[in-house]
Amino acid sequence: MARRPRIPQRARRTPSAQRKLEQHIAVFGESGSGKTVLLSSFYGASQEALSADAGGADPGAGRRLYDLVADDTTQGDRLLKNYYRMGSSAEVPAGNRFRAEPYRFTLSLKSAPSSAERKAMPFEALQLVWHDYPGEWFERSVSGPEEERRRVEAFRNLLVSDVALLLVDGQKLADTAGEEERYLKSLFHTLRTGLLRLKDDILVDGKELVQFPRIWVVALSKADLHPDMDAARFRALVLEKAADELGQLRESIESMVEGDDALAVGEDFLLLSSARFEPGRIDVAQRIGVDLLLPLAAMLPFERHVAWARRREIPARVAKDLLGHAGEISTAAIAVAMFAGRHKLPGRLGAIAAVLGPLSALLSRDEVSDAASLAGEKLAAVHERAVEKKQNLAAILSGFKIELERGEKDGVWLRSRR
């Protein structure tokens, strides 16, 4: 019989002065695919003052409204050391080969809201949990029972994430130019067999999981090695060379999750480059896609979960789990936060409880649907109004959506239309 899994971190809520919306992101990739560099670049860039002001008038305004800090100072300092050494000494940080480690970052408003504003906000901070693990754990056998225990525990924690990034190593793709299928087929096969190998340990009594990363984004790391590649071309390459293997991976993941209509494996594509790497030099300012990771982690699950639930193609229990449970700060809180001041909402968490009532009532709430589908000029108008009225939380979230739109226009990000 499978052992009872460790209670996920997100379920162990403790009293806190801040109400936090917690979003998890898992990054899957083979050893050397750039996971550690990506994490260091993500955090280092967020701390750069230049980066904070680099987004222009609309989303940039959102950036300047918040701080992002590592909850664990030691972890944060280690990531910054990696980042600075890349820039100053062209030194690439060593990969994580020995243990899985979650990194917690808290995004909070720069200016403290008033007591009245705080009461009207469904949450005051967004916590991003980034799950890192040794890539070797998918590629080879472990050394013994203790490492096996840590590996199973790590993957249980990885699989409570909201979004998973599946890294395609840009260097290996370049090394197999003209016959990329050799690498891509091997990558998807390795991931599939790795998940199947752990399936019996991860599923408790064989029961399919409800809480599971339902969005698996295929991301090209080291994208600077492919200057002519955009997200659409990347998708075409992956499907041309390894559609069958990607489909088999999708089927394996479906076998582990309840309500598999609410699943997007290999439907979204992203280009990523932590820096521009040249002989003897690493330019950390030349990033691709890294600045989209926070908007993506915060907003993509919300948009996609609402779309799935709205189509009523998934079991009610799954829909309620995706959108949240009454009494908890949930994904649907984003809808309330984005429309602060526009809709006359009940105060504090009462707003969330109202939204998260019976499923039929939840789906009829215009604010949830509207917030998820906002785009273009309407989105820009919501953002501008939030900035004007100093509704900082709404401004940040609508700014994130604008950044994702911009990523699509720039060809860095290609989202599923399903």
pLDDT tens digits for range 274-300 = 999 988 999 999 999 999 999 999 899
Integer CA distances (angstroms), 210 to 213, 257, 283, 357, in order: 9, 6, 42, 19
Using an 8 Å Cβ cutoff, are 222 and 35 in contact? no
Give the model's pLDDT for residue 71: 95
Q: Give the angle 52-54-59 at the CA atoms, nearest 5°.
A: 85
Residue whose C-alpha is closest to residue 382's, from 335, 328, 313, 325: 335
Rg (CA), the chain: 21
Question: What is the total residue count of the chain?
Answer: 418
| Percent above pLDDT 70 for the chain | 78
Element housing 69 (H / E) = strand 66-70
End-to-end CA distance of the chain: 37
Q: Per the domain annotation, does 196 fall within a domain?
A: yes
Q: Per the domain annotation, does 95 fall within a domain?
A: yes
Q: Per the domain annotation, does 3 fall within a domain?
A: no
What is the rounded average pLDDT of the residues 118-138?
Answer: 81
Which region among 189-198, 293-302, 349-358 has the lowest average model confidence (pLDDT)?
A: 349-358
Which region among 21-25, 116-120, 286-290, 359-363 has the lowest average model confidence (pLDDT)?
A: 359-363
Pairing of strands 163-169, 20-28: parallel
The distance of Cα 412 from the centroid of its chain, to the nearest Å, equals 16
Domain span including residue 289: 20-414
Q: Per the domain annotation, does 4 fall within a domain?
A: no
Give the model's pLDDT for residue 99: 72
Q: Is the pLDDT of residue 220 over 60?
A: yes
What is the rounded average pLDDT of the residues 329-336?
Answer: 67
Q: Is the pLDDT of residue 73 over 90?
A: yes
What is the tally of structural domains in the chain? 1
User: For residue 217, which phi and psi values (nearest 5 degrees)?
Assistant: -85, 130
Q: Identify the band that residue 30 occupies on the pLDDT scale cut at 50, 70 and 90.
A: confident
Using an 8 Å Cβ cutoff, are 398 and 372 in contact? no
Q: Per the domain annotation, does 49 fall within a domain?
A: yes
55: number of Cβ within 10 Å: 18
DSSP at 416: -
The distance of Cα 353 from the centroid of its chain, to the nearest Å, equals 25
pTM, two decimals, is: 0.85
Distance CA 410, CA 339 (A): 27
Q: Per the domain annotation, does 14 fall within a domain?
A: no
Q: Per the domain annotation, does 406 fall within a domain?
A: yes
Q: Per the domain annotation, does 284 fall within a domain?
A: yes
Q: Give the residue ranges of DSSP H helices in 111-230.
A: 115-120, 136-139, 145-158, 170-175, 181-202
Q: Identify the band that residue 343 occupies on the pLDDT scale cut at 50, 70 and 90.
A: very low
Residue whose C-alpha is closest to residue 263's, from 277, 251, 246: 251
Calculate the dihedral angle through the C-alpha atoms of 349, 352, 358, 361, rounding to the nearest 10 degrees.
130
Pairing of strands 101-109, 125-132: antiparallel
Residue whose C-alpha is closest to residue 159's, from 91, 274, 298, 256: 256
Give the model's pLDDT for residue 94: 81
Residue whose C-alpha is closest to residue 121's, from 330, 337, 323, 299: 337
Q: Is the pLDDT of residue 400 over 70?
A: yes
